[in-house]
């Protein structure tokens, strides 16, 4: 077994344990393997274990990797449906690339970006899945819509054609312990519930990373985004 395969097995076990501890069915949490800074070979090793969803932060790097992965899979006669999630900041001049190449954009925090993604989504592709990134803790990492503006943004984004609003995403600062992490993730869960009470039907709450996925799952996460616990330490950090 490769190192990456062993790490994925460990992370899947952590997810299952956290689900059971929270009284949730393990199938309700999806593992997104965050492959930023790692090459196509690492992604292919993960695919060989059955992993299908990958998250990338840097758009140019991601698109190059998608092509390389496709070629490797063809060469290996490995047929697997792969899902690519954009989880990094999206500038206006990058929306076309995101609309053309990704299945999900999890880091949408402005209506203008959503409008461009909707206009630029090629008609032959299914709707682009969208999560709104929320600044749940007012952290130094200031990207994300403010909590009191999320409902309005969600209502506007839900009306756009070619997009499918799926839910919320957050990247809180590292919390000192489980209880503190749980409190922050619960802010996101409460916002998610509030938006659904207003008549939208969100099904996705993307939160939890290598260090804090247990607390996120406890609070109701449906996608955990895990990088270093699968692929190892990164040289360049976002």
Ligand X SMILES: *Cc1c(COP(=O)(O)O)cnc(C)c1O
Which residue ranges make up the site for ligand X (CB under 6 A)? Answer: 34, 36, 57, 87, 171, 209-211, 225-229, 238
Q: What is the DSSP string of the chain?
A: --HHHHHHHHHHHHHHHHHHHTT--GGG-EEEEE-TTS-HHHHHHHHHTT--EEEES-HHHHHHHHHHHHHHHHHTT-----EEEE-S---GGGHHHHHHH-SEEEEE-SHHHHHHHHHHS-TTSPPEEEEEEB-TT--SS--SB-GGGHHHHHHHHHT-TTEEEEEEE--PPPPSSHHHHHHHHHHHHHHHHHHHHTT----EEE---TTTHHHHHHHT-SEEEESHHHH---SS--
Closest contact distance (angstroms) between CB of 213 and ligand X is: 8
Closest contact distance (angstroms) between CB of 87 and ligand X is: 4
* Residue 34 or 145 having the CB closest to ligand X: 34
Instruction: Find the Cα–Cα–Cα–Cα dihedral 1, 217, 137, 195, rounded to 10°.
Output: 130
Closest contact distance (angstroms) between CB of 89 and ligand X is: 9
* Residue 26 or 89 having the CB closest to ligand X: 89
Closest contact distance (angstroms) between CB of 123 and ligand X is: 29
* Residue 11 or 19 having the CB closest to ligand X: 11
Q: Which two tokens stand for residue 162?
A: 């070619």
Closest contact distance (angstroms) between CB of 199 and ligand X is: 28
* Residue 33 or 117 having the CB closest to ligand X: 33
Closest contact distance (angstroms) between CB of 235 and ligand X is: 12
* Residue 36 or 189 having the CB closest to ligand X: 36
Closest contact distance (angstroms) between CB of 21 and ligand X is: 20
User: Which residue in the shown chain puts its C-beta closest to ligand X?
Assistant: 227
Q: Is 74 exposed, middle or buried (0-12, 13-18, 19+ CB in 10 A)?
A: exposed
d(CA 180, CA 137): 11
* Residue 73 or 102 having the CB closest to ligand X: 102
* Residue 54 or 73 having the CB closest to ligand X: 54
């Amino acid at each position: 077994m490769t190192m990456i395969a062993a790490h994925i097995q460990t992370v899947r076990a952590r997810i299952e344990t956290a689900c059971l501890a929270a009284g949730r069915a393990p199938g309700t949490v999806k593992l997104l393997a965050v492959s930023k800074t790692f090459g196509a070979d690492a992604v292919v090793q993960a695919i060989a274990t059955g992993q299908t969803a990958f998250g990338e932060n840097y758009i140019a790097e991601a698109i190059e990797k998608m092509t390389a992965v496709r070629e490797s899979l063809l060469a290996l006669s490995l047929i697997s449906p792969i899902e690519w999630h954009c989880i990094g900041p999206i500038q206006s001049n990058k929306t076309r690339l995101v609309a053309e190449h990704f299945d999900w954009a999890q880091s949408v925090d402005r209506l203008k970006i959503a409008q461009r993604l909707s206009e630029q989504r090629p008609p032959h592709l299914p709707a682009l899945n969208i999560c709104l990134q929320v600044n749940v803790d007012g952290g130094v990492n200031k990207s994300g819509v403010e909590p009191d503006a999320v409902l309005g943004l969600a209502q506007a984004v839900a009306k756009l054609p070619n997009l499918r609003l799926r839910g919320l995403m957050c990247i809180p600062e590292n919390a000192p312990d489980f209880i503190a992490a749980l409190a922050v993730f619960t802010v996101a869960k409460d916002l998610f519930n509030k938006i659904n009470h207003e008549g939208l039907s969100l099904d996705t709450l993307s939160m939890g990373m290598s260090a804090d996925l247990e607390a996120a799952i406890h609070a109701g996460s449906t996608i955990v985004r895990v990088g270093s616990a699968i692929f190892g330490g990164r040289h360049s950090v976002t």
